[in-house]
Amino acid sequence: MRLSRFFLPILKENPKEAEIVSHRLMLRAGMIRQEAAGIYAWLPLGFRVLKKIEQIVREEQDRSGALELLMPTLQLADLWRESGRYDAYGPEMLRIADRHKRELLYGPTNEEMITEIFRAYVKSYKNLPLNLYHIQWKFRDEQRPRFGVMRGREFLMKDAYSFDLNEAAARVAYNKMFVAYLRTFARMGLKAIPMRAETGPIGGDLSHEFIVLAETGESGVFINRDVLDLPVPGEDVDYESDLTPIIKQWTSVYAATEDVHDAARFEQEVPEAKRLNTRGIEVGQIFYFGTKYSEPMKAMVAGPDGVDVPIHGGSYGVGVSRLLGAIIEACHDDAGIKWPEAVAPFRAVVLNLKQGDAAVDAACEKLYAELQAKGVDVLYDDTDQRAGAKFAAADLIGIPWQIMIGPKGLADGKVELKRRSDGSRETMSPADAVARLVG
């Protein structure tokens, strides 16, 4: 992509309304624009990252055996009356009346609707286990939206719903999602730590939050540092095998949010040198809630003995749009964002340090064409900005690799390759730079 043809409205000023660094950087880097309180448009740079995050979430859901579908954003109020949550949900639910005065709502979550879909079609335990997920926009009418996409009102969430014959089978489904989440966040370059959590309005008696450590996080967390070094299951993890050893390994090391923190246990279990009290950002939460929805909504299947029983359910959320904020909180410096490679909007940016110089232009065009031909997702800064502005913009938007081409280096047949994550620089031939970025 040529920057001269891209739409990247970088802001020079620090936007006043942004209280935290991720919000500030997303606005400055031209990733988002606020259209109403807590409602954002995703400009092309932000959209690219959103899609990469969404795709990682999707691949790991698919790998675990979950099936993707897509439920609509609007739901019937009557559906929520069946579960009893319509009145319980409070002012965060956006309630809507259509032209015929029929009561709708903008879905904040989908337990009711997926249960309605399930009960319409599935009648026998033979069709279980089943885990259905979608990645869809939700709305939660926050009293005071803030922190940009971290606590927006219209937000993108992946939510999966598992259906099983009994609690033992439901725990197998829960464990699969637990492992899928470990993999999902690790692939994004995050250390997201599962912590035992309260269940809140979703209900149920078993829940874990996945929390990224960041000083700006919304909740205090207490962990044993050992949890930071636990191995994440590889791509070849067998979801049909018994996953409990993995779950045990991750849940036996102390890690808790302040809501459920047990100070006595923490001090007893964790050696002082390994105690860490910091803050974190929730990026996912998983729930086992048994028959909380299937009983009132009559989602029953015939068991092996022919008797109808309510299914045991769980739900599993990932905050897809929120993850952009969380990743930036975890990966930035004073100059801007440092995208992990897997979610970067582009893998590399070519900086033409003297636009209009025939030799430099030609070298840049050649390198840009070669990188594209080899499948590298590359941005080419072909604007007529001065070199200093190009350096600053490249650092701000956080592309992992910068290739700088100027007349001086080029006279020696060299370009400079800078790695954004650690600032390291190397001088090399254009061919070597291409080789470094391929594969």
Residues of the shown chain interacting with its own copies in the complex, contacts defined by CB under 8 A: 5-7, 9, 30, 33, 35-37, 39-44, 46-47, 50, 65, 67-76, 79, 91-92, 94, 96, 98-99, 102, 104, 106, 113, 116-117, 120-122, 130, 132, 137, 139, 141, 143, 153-154
Q: Are strands 130-139 and 67-68 parallel, antiparallel or unpaired?
A: parallel
Cβ at position 98, least distance to its own copies in Å: 5
Measured CA angle at 98 (ends 93, 100), to 5 deg: 140
CA distance 347 to 340: 10
Backbone angles phi, psi at 172, to 5 degrees: -65, -45
Q: Which is nearer to its own copies, 139 or 401 (CB)?
A: 139
- Given the complex with its own copies, which of 136 and 421 has the nearer CB atom? 136
Query: How far from the centroid of its chain's Cα atoms is residue 241's Cα?
Result: 26
* Smallest distance, its own copies to C-beta of residue 268, A: 45
Would you say 208 and 196 are in contact if contact means Cβ atoms under 8 Å apart? yes
Q: Containing H/E element for 58?
A: helix 44-63
Cis peptide before 145 (omega within 30 of 0): no
Nearer to its own copies among residue 4 and residue 429 (C-beta): 4
Of 102 and 298, which CB lies nearer to its own copies in the complex structure? Answer: 102
In whole angstroms, the minimum distance from the beta carbon of 41 to its own copies comes to 5
C-beta of 5: minimal distance to its own copies in Å? Answer: 7
DSSP letters of 265-276? HHHHHS-GGGEE
Using CB atoms within 10 Å of the CB of residue 197, give its burial: 0 to 12 exposed, 13 to 18 middle, 19+ buried.
buried
> Which C-beta is closer to its own copies: that of 377 or that of 432?
377
Please identify, using beta-carbon distances, which residue of 154 and 382 lies nearer to its own copies: 154
Nearest approach, Cβ of 275 to its own copies (angstroms)? 41
Minimum Å gap between C-beta 39 and its own copies is 5
CB of 58 vs its own copies, minimal distance in Å: 10
Closer by beta carbon to its own copies, 36 or else 168: 36
Euclidean distance between CA atoms 382 and 1, whole angstroms: 10
What is the C-alpha separation between 252 and 49, in angstroms, rounded?
Answer: 34
